[in-house]
Chain A
Amino acid sequence: MLSEVLSKDKIIINPSVENWREAIKAAGNLLLADEIVTREYVQAMITSVEEKGPYIVIAPGIAIAHARPEDGVNDLGMSLAILEKPIKFGNKDNDPVKIVFSFSSPDNKRHLEVFQQLTTLLMRDNFVENISKATTPEEVLDYIFEK
């Protein structure tokens, strides 16, 4: 369940970041802090974009950063950074990015249920605009889980 992995300590609002690498780190470090992933995993999320391109920007303003299970995953995890100033990832259709998710999955199946919920969330009308109104992690969770 998304509510079991995306807790308020996995959300950061307006982290101090200057570029897309720092934006991915800001989200990834929240997983690292709980040892859900290793430091190598956070770096691998960046390397993945460098090597495979910025297709992780799946929709206007939204990036979903991740690496592979063998890159240093201890558990299923998801975190979220909401950027104050949108940042370019190099994706010509969907830049600039305002919302950066990072996730980790120990295999290619464990994240399926969480992703079903994530897909429904991201397909909401005006998702980026509405989630950006939140000023605290609690308000982000209220929006996501419609409290």
Chain B
Amino acid sequence: MKILSVCGNGLGSSLILKMAVEKVLKSEDIKANVVVSDLGNAKGLDADYIVASPEIAERLKDHKATVIAIKNMMDKNEIKEKLISQINQ
């Protein structure tokens, strides 16, 4: 399973979100490859899921991957409710 974490630069917010997602995945015992990307490159990358802030997620809504908007990137519960629930479906 591949998860893309996307922000404008692919350096800051997306890295923080990747690390937060990895912590939650680990606690749920789910294995996935989480990769960061900037918005421009994300459009051409394959993934099963994309996580990003709501404004970035909106700009990726045509992507083949399931796009998940995370408002509070530091909130384990929000990541669980939105991402883990999708993965477990």
Report how far A67 CA is from B68 CA in the complex, Å.
25
Across-interface contacts of A94 in B (CB, < 8 A): 71-72
Say whether, besides A55-B56, A105-B11, A115-B15, A123 and B23 are in contact (CB < 8 Å): yes
Across-interface contacts of A120 in B (CB, < 8 A): 23
Inter-chain contact B9/A66, CB cutoff 8 Å: yes
CB distance from A128 to the nearest CB of B (A): 10
Say whether, besides A55-B55, A119-B16, A119-B23, A66 and B72 are in contact (CB < 8 Å): no
- The 0/1 profile, CB within 8 Å of A marked 1, for residues 51-89 of chain B is 011111000000000000001111110000000000000
Inter-chain contact B8/A55, CB cutoff 8 Å: yes
Among A56, A59, A93, A122, point to the contact of B12 (Cβ < 8 A): A56
A-B contact pairs, 13 of them (CB 8 A): A48-B8, A53-B8, A53-B55, A55-B53, A56-B12, A58-B17, A59-B72, A59-B73, A64-B13, A93-B71, A115-B16, A119-B19, A122-B16
Question: How many residues does chain A have at the interface if contact means C-beta atoms less than 8 Å apart?
Answer: 28
- The 0/1 profile, CB within 8 Å of A marked 1, for residues 1-21 of chain B is 000000111111101110110
Across-interface contacts of A118 in B (CB, < 8 A): 16
Top 9 closest pairs, chain A to chain B, by CB: A52-B8, A119-B19, A59-B74, A55-B53, A93-B71, A58-B73, A66-B12, A122-B74, A59-B72
Inter-chain contact B23/A59, CB cutoff 8 Å: no
CB distance from A31 to the nearest CB of B (A): 14
Inter-chain contact A93/B72, CB cutoff 8 Å: yes
Inter-chain contact A55/B13, CB cutoff 8 Å: yes
Report how far A67 CA is from B10 CA in the complex, Å.
11
Report how far A108 CA is from B18 CA in the complex, Å.
14
Say whether, besides A58-B17, A115-B19, A123-B23, A64 and B12 are in contact (CB < 8 Å): yes
Inter-chain contact B12/A127, CB cutoff 8 Å: no
Across-interface contacts of A48 in B (CB, < 8 A): 8-9
Chain B CB within 10 A, most for which of A48, A93, A127: A93
